[in-house]
Amino acid sequence: MHWYFDVIKNYVGFSGRATRTEYWMFVLFNFFILVIARLIDWLLPSSVPIIYSLYSLAVLIPTFAVGARRLHDIGKTGWWQLIGFIPILGWIVLLIYFCTDTQDKENVYGANPKEFIEE
């Protein structure tokens, strides 16, 4: 759960690098929160998914920020996220990039974040 809160604390941090674990744990917790928000909206009498929509807007910038840091971790610019606007092919490319392992050495975006992780 701390990965989720670390991303939220670094709300607009588009610089630096994020490991695969940090990115995918944020995605996982974010998915579960979105499902819960959708269920709550379903239980409410309103036909507008207000909680789901508000939460989605609240995490929009942190989602792009952690995505940019994840791409920085493999040596790509954060602008590669825009390829996601290309249906199917863009999503596949992003999925491959987000699953790619960290560059072992320091790159132009900073030091290897795996060196600082205590096991």
- Give 39-54 pLDDT, tens digit per residue: 999 999 888 999 999 9
Maximum mean pLDDT: which of 1-15, 23-37, 101-115: 23-37
**Distance in angstroms (rounded) separating the CA atoms of residues 61 and 63:** 5
- Give 17-75 pLDDT, tens digit per residue: 999 999 999 999 999 999 999 999 999 988 899 999 999 999 999 999 999 999 999 99
Q: At what angle do helices 60-73 and 20-43 cross, to 10 degrees?
A: 160
CB-based contact 24:94 (threshold 8 Å) = no
Model pLDDT, residue 119? 46
**Per-residue pLDDT band at 116 (split at 50, 70, 90):** low
**Per-residue pLDDT band at 2 (split at 50, 70, 90):** confident
pLDDT over threshold 60, residue 118: no
**Range of the structural domain that residue 6 is part of:** 2-116
The count of structural domains within the chain is 1
**Distance in angstroms (rounded) separating the CA atoms of residues 27 and 107:** 24
Tell me what the pLDDT averaged over the chain comes to: 92
